[in-house]
Amino acid sequence: MANQVMEQLETPALILDEARMDRNIARMRSQVQRLGVVFRPHVKTNKCIDVARRLMETPQGPITVSTLREAEYFAAHGVTDILYAVCIAPNKMDHVMALQDQGVRLSLILDSMETARLLADRARATQRQFDLLIEIDSDGHRSGVKPDAPELIEIGRFLQDAGLPVKGVLTHAGSSYDAFTVDAIRAMAEQERAAVVHAAERLRAAGIACPVVSVGSTPTALFAEHLDGVTEVRAGVFVFFDLVMAGLNVCQTDDIAVSVLATVIGHQREKGWTILDAGWMAMSRDRGTAKQPVDQGYGLVCDLDGQPLDDLILVGANQEHGIMAHRSGKVDGALHLPVGTQVRILPNHACSTAAQYGHYSVLGKDHEITAVWQRFSGW
Amino acid sequence: MANQVMEQLETPALILDEARMDRNIARMRSQVQRLGVVFRPHVKTNKCIDVARRLMETPQGPITVSTLREAEYFAAHGVTDILYAVCIAPNKMDHVMALQDQGVRLSLILDSMETARLLADRARATQRQFDLLIEIDSDGHRSGVKPDAPELIEIGRFLQDAGLPVKGVLTHAGSSYDAFTVDAIRAMAEQERAAVVHAAERLRAAGIACPVVSVGSTPTALFAEHLDGVTEVRAGVFVFFDLVMAGLNVCQTDDIAVSVLATVIGHQREKGWTILDAGWMAMSRDRGTAKQPVDQGYGLVCDLDGQPLDDLILVGANQEHGIMAHRSGKVDGALHLPVGTQVRILPNHACSTAAQYGHYSVLGKDHEITAVWQRFSGW
């Protein structure tokens, strides 16, 4: 595939703009260095060793994963320090132990006494140790123990008594995706930091060691003013960014490093529609900008140089058909792109769009495809 | 994997209830036989030879596909009569010709003079024939030439003059997904039939042969009263059905043959939330029931026998987290399922949920997993 140009690709195809990606990584690296914490990148967005190698502080990690399949894949590529950042389920313990047997230092998280008891039973039955972090709920958006909850100390003490020392506490301020100004994101970053540091201090005050204090989301990581008391930061989507992040002013549209290359296959001119060969299978069903001030439909349409094209968006999507139209709905004077014209569509959500593909076509200068990087899916 | 039971699977996992699938296939087969037309099943929903073999009239097909990757995969499994039901783009012609060279009789569709000219140029340059159908727009929902449009005859005549005879006309009444009563679906089926038959008659009256008249969508195929003038019917999602189809009364929830096996990993009791290890990566981002009278969130939660559980749905989804709650929002008295409990979630849309997985775990009697059937993705 090397030395191909983008125009020769069969569509739809997932394009990764290498220069934009490298710029995004440099921005996060500089911020993490300023904050003075360990960077544990989340690889759920990229699921690709070629991308992860540019993110990691060492070839062995650390990294954050969202599935044990990710842990398995990155372990096969030499990564040994892996945090699985979803509360563990009993049916995954055989998989966890197989990874431990391969030499992976896999950290698990939990947020309940129920899970603490299951893990203690499993540790006793198998004569194993598990590295455990307690998830803290810093914003009410999903999982975690409230930082002030009595259960936090109960879990910590139970684990310690069971011979499973608490490695730390972790939180994810998912609500930062609803913070539409830089000030709101900064406030959310401080809320995230303060909640998890408070939880760590409560554990320590109760005589429970808590060396790791982990926070992270792309918006809060990029806009945190300080992370006093925090030891590590996690973030994933920043590597590619997307329209949701641009809608939060966390990035600009010309920072978005992934796009879907698509081709015009027809028109319904009386409606101002152009039909593309990229539907929801190519874009994903993610409509993350629907709740933002600017709704980008199923994606923002750009020319082959990655510049937005006459305010065209995908207003609808079937499985393999995308309906492109002017954002305003105007029909007269809509840009006519002949059948065969290629466009690039910026996605609402990089994680979900990239997940629809088995590889990235890596874009260099002058529309050249310089590499093909494989990615994987599944659990 | 054979002789495993469902309870032993690592979650999330895609479960295919074989008995329900076979019943759905028998229902469609009986309807198609009554209608007296050829059945050309759409394999975009299943993307799996083990499923397709139960659908096809012969091991060689015919089938309908939505991508050339599907054509390639099914051709490798011996299928030779394939209709690619998305208007062809120029950059796919090398792929088309490679399939022809493997002995596939691949039918292509088009809906514009622009594409007709591109195909005629390519046929001339390569000394090839292409089997071409003209797409007809029977309901305004997507692609196709209006049955009454002068362009229909223009395209037909141009192709004939270029030595590329028209094989037929085809339409897809996608608007049947917005028809919420059996009467409305019947009316849509008649509209679909009448439009494409009218288009075929216009072509024939102009001296252009048009042997194939092809219609199809799951709702219209199942509820059409007659298909006079039609030669073949296409449908795909009926093989599994889903909550969107149940919401249209095209099936019942206990006809839905695919579900996602998930595990309870935590709770936020004060909100009535149970957290599952199946988020949007496991369910897809498809919210197809959002516009229906009953919104099923990201899916309807069932017990391991596939029976709906206390009116619980997935009210929210992150990448690997699903938030299960009572449909009414009630917090007090919500069913408490301990950590580790497995549930099965019926999906909004079988095509998009199944696309998130690399295989089906085939469910037989007594929770037994009798087989693992591979499926593929990509283009």
Across the interface, which of A94, A114, A340 has its CB nearest the CB of B338? A114
Q: Check if the beta carbon of residue A43 is closer than 8 Å to that of residue A74.
A: yes
Beta carbons within 10 angstroms of residue B263's beta carbon: 25
**Cβ neighbours of A11 (radius 10 Å):** 22
* Residue A3 confidence (pLDDT): 72
pLDDT tens readout for residues B61-111:
999 999 999 999 999 999 999 999 999 999 999 999 999 999 999 999 999
Which pLDDT value is given to residue B220? 96
Find, among A316, A339, A318, A270, the residue nearest to B112 by Cα. A339
Residue B228 lies in a domain: yes
Q: Are residues B77 and B129 in the same domain?
A: yes
Q: Do A44 and B319 touch (CB under 8 A)?
A: yes
H/E run at residue B22: helix B18-35
Tens of pLDDT, residue by residue over B165-219, are 999 999 999 888 888 899 999 999 999 999 999 999 999 999 999 999 999 999 9
Contact B46, B239 (CB under 8 A): yes
Quick check: A173 and A217 in contact, CB under 8 A? yes
Per-residue pLDDT at B270: 93
Let me know whether A111 and A33 are in one domain.
yes
Same domain for A306 and A206, yes or no, is no
- Which CATH number covers residue B298? 2.40.37.20
Tell me chain B's radius of gyration from C-alpha atoms.
22
Tell if the CB–CB gap between B265 and A89 is shorter than 8 Å. yes
Decide if A179 is inside a domain: yes
- In a domain? residue B363: yes
Q: What angle do CA A7, A8, A14 make, to 5 degrees?
A: 75
Domain boundary among B174, B208, B238: B238
B2, pLDDT greater than 60? no
Smallest Cα distance from B66 to chain A, Å = 7
Judge whether A247 lies within some domain: no
Residue B379 lies in a domain: no
CA pair distance A19, A257, nearest whole angstrom: 8
B14-60 tens-digit pLDDT: 999 999 999 999 999 999 999 999 999 999 999 999 999 999 999 99
DSSP conformation class of B336: P
pLDDT band at A179 (very low <50, low <70, confident <90, very high): confident
Residues of chain A numbered 300-319 and touching chain B (CB < 8 Å)? 318-319
The 3-state DSSP class for residue B241 equals: coil
Q: What is the CATH number of the domain that holds B122?
A: 3.20.20.10
Show Cβ contacts of residue B150 under 8 Å, excluding neighbours closer than 6 positions: none
Say yes or no: B29 and B151 in one domain: yes
* pLDDT band at A321; cut points 50, 70, 90: very high
Give the lowest-confidence range in A49-63, A322-336, B246-260, B306-320.
A322-336
Note whether A236 and A278 are same-domain residues: no
Which residues span the domain enclosing B75? 21-238
Q: Is the dihedral of CA B340, B342, B345, B350 positive or negative?
A: positive
Residue of chain B minimizing CA distance to A6: B91
Domain shared by B55 and B122, yes or no: yes
Of B268, B277, B379, the CB nearest to A10: B379
- For residue range B264-305, what is the model confidence (pLDDT) as tens digits? 999 999 999 999 999 999 999 999 999 999 999 999 999 999
**Which of A43, A98, A95, A103 has its CA nearest to residue A74?**
A43
**Is the pLDDT assigned to residue B1 strictly greater than 60?**
no
Contact A256, A243 (CB under 8 A): yes
Instruction: Say if residue A265 is in the same domain as residue A118.
Output: no
Task: Give the bridge partners for B273, in sequence order.
Answer: B268
Mean local confidence (pLDDT), A41-46: 98
> What is the structure's pLDDT at B222?
97
Amino acid at A237: V
**B 207-266 → A contacts, CB under 8 A:** 263-266
Give the pLDDT confidence score for residue B179 in this predicted structure. Answer: 87
Q: Which of A219, A240, A261 is the last residue of a domain?
A: A240
Q: What is the pLDDT, as a whole number, of residue A335?
A: 82
Residue A47 covered by a domain: yes
Q: Residues B53-73: pLDDT tens digits?
A: 999 999 999 999 999 999 999
The answer to whether position B7 is within a domain reads no
Residue B39 lies in a domain: yes
Q: What is the 3-state secondary structure (H, E, C) of chain A?
A: CCCEEHHHCCCCEEEEEHHHHHHHHHHHHHHHHHHCCEECCECCCCCCHHHHHHHCCECCECEEECCHHHHHHHHHCCCCEEEECCCCCHHHHHHHHHHHHCCCEEEEEECCHHHHHHHHHHHHHHCCCCEEEEEECCCCCCCCECCCCHHHHHHHHHHHHCCCCEEEEECCCHHHHHCCCHHHHHHHHHHHHHHHHHHHHHHHHCCCCCCEEEECCHHHHHHCCCCCCCCEECCCHHHCCCHHHHHCCCCCHHHCCEEEEEEEEEEEHHHCEEEECCCHHHHCCCCHHHHCCCCCECCEEECCCCCEEEEEEEEEECCCCEEEEECCCCCCCCCCCCCCCEEEEECCCHHHHHCCCCEEEEECHHHEEEEEEECCCCC
pLDDT score, position A271: 94
Query: Residues 65..124 of B with a Cβ closer than 8 Å to A: which?
Result: 66-68, 86-92, 94-95, 110-112, 114-115, 118
Judged against a pLDDT cut of 50, whether residue A82 lies above it is answered with: yes
**What average pLDDT does the segment A115-136 reach?**
97
> Are both B199 and B323 inside the same structural domain?
no
| ipTM, two decimals | 0.97
Residues 6+ apart with CB under 8 A from A33: none
- Which phi and psi angles does B339 have, rounded to 5°? -55, 135
Whether residues A109 and A210 fall in one domain: yes
Number of domains in chain B: 2
B228, B260: one domain: no
Beta strands in chain B (DSSP E): 4-5, 13-17, 38-39, 63-65, 81-84, 105-110, 131-135, 166-170, 212-215, 232-233, 258-268, 273-276, 300-302, 308-317, 322-326, 342-346, 359-363, 368-374
Cross-chain Cβ contact A266/B92 below 8 Å: no
Residues of B in contact with A142 (CB under 8 A): 275, 318, 321, 323
The verdict on A313 and A227 lying in the same domain is no
Residue B135: pLDDT above 90? Answer: yes
Is the pLDDT assigned to residue A360 strictly greater than 70? yes
| C-alpha–C-alpha distance, residues A201 and A211, integer Å | 10
Of chain B, the percentage scoring pLDDT greater than 90 comes to 95
In sequence order, the 6+-apart residues with CB closer than 8 A to the CB of A67 are: A44, A84, A86, A378, A379, B281, B320
Q: Are residues B145 and B81 in the same domain?
A: yes
Section A307-323 average pLDDT: 96
3-class secondary structure, B275: strand
- Per the prediction, chain A carries an average pLDDT of 96
The Cα angle at residue B333 between residues B328 and B334, in degrees rounded to 5: 55
* Residues of chain A numbered 327-346 and touching chain B (CB < 8 Å): 338-340, 342
Q: Using CB atoms, which residue from B87, B95, B281 is nearest to A265? A: B87
Would you say residue B333 has pLDDT above 80?
no
**Mean pLDDT, residues B327-350:** 92
Q: Domain ends where: A240, A266, A297?
A: A240
A268, A331, A348, A374, best to mutate vs chain B, most B CBs in 10 Å? A268
pLDDT band of A333, cuts 50, 70, 90: confident
Cβ contacts of A207 within 8 Å, gap of 6 or more = none
Q: pLDDT by residue (tens digit) across A243-280?
A: 999 999 999 999 999 999 999 999 999 999 999 999 99
Task: Kindly state the helix (H) or strand (E) to which residue B354 belongs, with its residue range.
Answer: helix B350-354
Q: Is A320 on the interface with B (CB under 8 A)?
A: yes
| Cβ–Cβ < 8 Å for A264, A274 | yes
Q: From the candidates A87, A92, A113, which should be mutated to test the interface with B, based on the most B CB atoms within 10 A?
A: A87
Give the model's pLDDT for residue A1.
Answer: 45
Across the interface, of B10, B66, B89, the residue whose CB is closest to A11 is B89
